Amino acid sequence: MFNIRIILRREIQSFFNSPMAYIFLVIFAIVSGYFFTNTFFLFGQSDLRVLFDMIPLVYLFFIPAVSMGLIARENNIGTMETISTMPLSTYEFVIGKFLAGFCLIMLGLLATSIHFITLVFVGTNIDYGAIFSGYLGLALMGATFTSIGIYASSVTENQVVAFIIGVFLVLVFYMLDKTLVFAPQSIVGIIQFLAVDYHLSNISRGVIDSRNIIYFLSMIGFFIYLTIQTLEVRRWK
């Protein structure tokens, strides 16, 4: 745990020593604020449904951008060789990197709580259960996309290539349930189960099903495992 905290602290400091974190948080706040004010003040909707529908679209590009350098940067500047000689396991290294990326995503999500506070004070007939489950779903999706971005960052030394791979992978998992009309009936259920947006939609409706939670946790664990195995193979080459 101590090594994980060191990696986590190092990455958080690295985020805020560069413009990346500030750009992400500012744009995230502006975009979320725009959609909230449009639906609340212009249309009088006392919920965050439109905001929750928009945030995944922001995730599709911003999470790969945040995570693209987490490991690729280390490979590019040659610090992976130094790290491999330290008393630090690959598991601790990857988990520390994953938590750093996830913390930044959660900061962006936390910034939208100002809209929830506004809703509490001036809204009517607020569905608190749907809002809570919506935030839970977005946090789980953010963690899933971060694990995918970490994996993309581990397979290359080029951050731009890592970004492209990350965007491609998150788009695939996000768009899977949009392709059901073209899929053979025999595999529709499988494709739907693999689709991130399908599980997010289920949670966002206010019904927290253990199958959806298990899906997100399994996806996170799977891509973290892939990342660890990728780094282990590269270490012994």
pLDDT above 70 for 82: no
Burial of 232 (0-12, 13-18, 19+ CB in 10 A): exposed
157, 76 Cβ separation under 8 angstroms: yes
pLDDT above 80 for 32: no
Rounded CA-CA distance 229/223 in Å is 10
Tokens of 20: 């990346």
The predicted model scores a pTM of 0.88
Higher-confidence position of 114 and 91: 91
pLDDT above 70 for 197: yes
Rounded CA-CA distance 15/118 in Å is 29
Rounded CA-CA distance 129/207 in Å is 9
The whole-number pLDDT of residue 36 equals 66
Q: What are the boundaries of each domain within the chain?
A: 2-235
**Mean pLDDT highest for which of 50-59, 125-134, 170-179, 202-211?**
170-179
Please compute Rg for the chain using Cα positions: 19
The whole-number pLDDT of residue 228 equals 92
CA 188 to chain centre: 25
Rounded CA-CA distance 36/42 in Å is 10
| Residue tagged 């951008």 (tokens) | 65
Mean pLDDT of 145-150: 96
227, 92 Cβ separation under 8 angstroms: no
